[in-house]
Amino acid sequence: MYTRYLIPCLIVLIVLAFLEVLPVSAQSADRSHRQPNVVIILPDQLRWSALGCYGNPVIKSPNINRLADEGVRFTHAFSNFPVCSPARSTLLTGRYARSNGVNQNQDPECQSGRSTTTHTTLAEALAAAGYKTALVGKWHLFPKPQALGFQQSLRANYPHGYFKQKFTVNEKEVYYHQGYGPFYETEKAVEFIRLNRDRPFFLYFSPHPPHMPIADLPNKYKNMYQPDELPIRPNAIKDGKPAYNEEWFKIYMWEHRYLRNPDTYPEKLPEGMDLRDLTALYYGQITAIDDCVGQVMKALKDNAIDADTIVVFTTDHGDLLGSHQLFNKNHHYIEACRIPMMVRYPRKLTPRVIDKQVISLIDVMPTILELCGVSVPPSVQGLSMDAVLTSRQTVIGENAAYIETTSSDGIRTLRYMYAIERESGNELLFDVEADPYEMNNLIDRPTYKKILLAMREKVKSWQKQTTEFKFEK
C-alpha cells in the first residue's frame, strides 16, 4: 500500500540531490568538487586609503591586510553610486542604480512587497543554485531581505547606534542588544558559518561602521589613535588648517541622536576638536571592524572551509572626511568613490595585486556567479572579472567605472576622472595620475580638449545604453 508514495518520494530525493540541498555528507565527500561558499564582507563608508593594504601608514588593519595578502586585491575599485541604498542595490543586482530604480537612499526600515529592485539578485541566483542565503547586519533596501532572496536575516534596524542597537530576526522577532552591535553581528555571522559548513552558503555580512555615529565605539578603540600622528590628505587642508564643520562633526559623532533634536542635544563637541580627532574615531571604528573580519576568517578556518570559500571584502562607498571641504559622500571625488576590493579564494585564485583593471560594485555579482559556476542572469549590466582574477586576461571590457550621484553622472578610468552635473551641465575633469588629490580641474585646458570630448561622449553613450528604470504606476 506504500508503493504509491515510493515514486513521488524518489522524485523528491532526486530533485533535492540535484539542487544540492542535501548535506554534503550525503553527497560527494570530495571537497574539490563542491560549490564554493560565498562571504561578502561589506562595512559601510570605508575610504580605501584608510587601510594598511592600500598604503595607510598608521591604521591597524592586520586582518584585512592578511585577507588582501592571501587574495587578489584590486588597486582601482569604485562605487558606482557613492550613497548607501543605490550602492547596495547595484552590488546585489549587478545593475546601475539608474537602471534598477534605487537612485536615492530608501526608507531605512523594510516594508513588505517588492516595490524596488525588481531584477534577479545575487542572493536569488545563489539560492536557486542550492545555496543557503543569509544577511547579517545593515540592509537599507526597501523590501524585506526575504523578498530579495535571503532565506534568513539578522537585520540591524535604523537608526543606527552601535550600542543598544535594535535588531530584527527574519523580519519577525525584534529585540535590543546592549553591547557593541558589530561584535554581536560577528558572533551571529560565525554561528551561521558553523551551522552551514556542510553545504554551500552565501553570507552577506554588512557591519555598519565606520559610518557615523563614530563616537559610539568601545573605549579600547576610542583611545587607540593619537590624533597628532594621523595623516590628513592635502586636499582637506585650506589656508593651512584642516577642514572643520561643526554641524558635520556632530553628525559624524552622534548621527541620528543629534539629528533628531539638534537644538537641544545635550552633548557638545570636545574642546578644540579638529579633523584629526574626528579621524582618530573613524580609524578606531575601522580597527574594530578589522577585528570582526578576523573572527569571520577564523571561523572559516576553524570549520575547514576557508579554501573553498570566496570572500569578497569591499564597501558601499568611501567618505570625503574633509577633502575639498566636503563631508560624507554622494560626490565624484575619489575619497567618496574609491573603495577597497579584494577577493580571496585559495582553491582557485593565486594571491596578487591587480593594478591594470578597473572594477566597480556592478561587477561583483557576475564575478561571484561565474566563480561559483552559476549562470549570470541576462539583466546584469556588470562584467565578470573571472578571466582577470584567474590571470587568463590582463584587462577586460571598457576598463572604466561609470559613477552616478543624485545630481551627476561620470566616469573613471585608470588615469582620468570626468563628471557632469545633470541640471547645470557643470563639468569636472582630472588627470588623476598627475593630480591624485584632484585639485586642478582641466575642463578649460586646450591640451586636454580631446580627452574631455572623449569622456563626455563615453558618459553620453552610457546614459543612452543604460535605460532608466520606471516604476509602474
Binding site for Ca ion (CB under 5 A): 44-45, 84, 316
- Do the beta carbons of residue 209 and residue 44 sit within 8 Å? yes
Pairing status of strand 408-412 against strand 401-404: antiparallel
CA–CA separation, 131 vs 153, rounded Å? 14
CB of 108 to Ca ion, least distance (A): 11
Residue 283's Cβ-side half-sphere holds a number of Cα atoms within 13 Å equal to 25
Beta strand ranges found along 13-104 (DSSP E): 37-41, 72-78
* Residue whose CB is less far from Ca ion, 314 or 357: 314
* Residue whose CB is less far from Ca ion, 45 or 75: 45
* Residue whose CB is less far from Ca ion, 44 or 370: 44
* Residue whose CB is less far from Ca ion, 54 or 139: 139
* Residue whose CB is less far from Ca ion, 370 or 404: 404
Helix axes 181-195, 275-302, angle to 10 degrees: 20
Q: Read off the C-alpha cell for 298.
A: 577564523
CB of 45 to Ca ion, least distance (A): 5
CB of 50 to Ca ion, least distance (A): 15
Which residues share a beta bridge with 416? 431
CA–CA separation, 156 vs 139, rounded Å? 7
Q: Read off the C-alpha cell for 235.
A: 586636499
Q: Read off the C-alpha cell for 161.
A: 547606534
CB of 210 to Ca ion, least distance (A): 10
Distance from CA of residue 232 to its chain's centroid? Answer: 24
* Residue whose CB is less far from Ca ion, 35 or 45: 45
CA–CA separation, 66 vs 64, rounded Å? 5
Q: Read off the C-alpha cell for 221.
A: 578603540
For Ca ion, the nearest residue by Cβ is 84
CB of 90 to Ca ion, least distance (A): 12
CB of 106 to Ca ion, least distance (A): 12
CA–CA separation, 66 vs 125, rounded Å? 30
Q: Read off the C-alpha cell for 356.
A: 591594470
Would you put residue 190 in left (φ > 0), alpha (ψ -120 to 50) or beta?
alpha
CB of 317 to Ca ion, least distance (A): 6
Place of cell 562595512: 43
* Residue whose CB is less far from Ca ion, 47 or 412: 47
Cis peptide before 210 (omega within 30 of 0): yes
* Residue whose CB is less far from Ca ion, 83 or 190: 83
CB of 117 to Ca ion, least distance (A): 16
* Residue whose CB is less far from Ca ion, 45 or 405: 45
CB of 51 to Ca ion, least distance (A): 17
CA–CA separation, 245 vs 323, rounded Å? 12
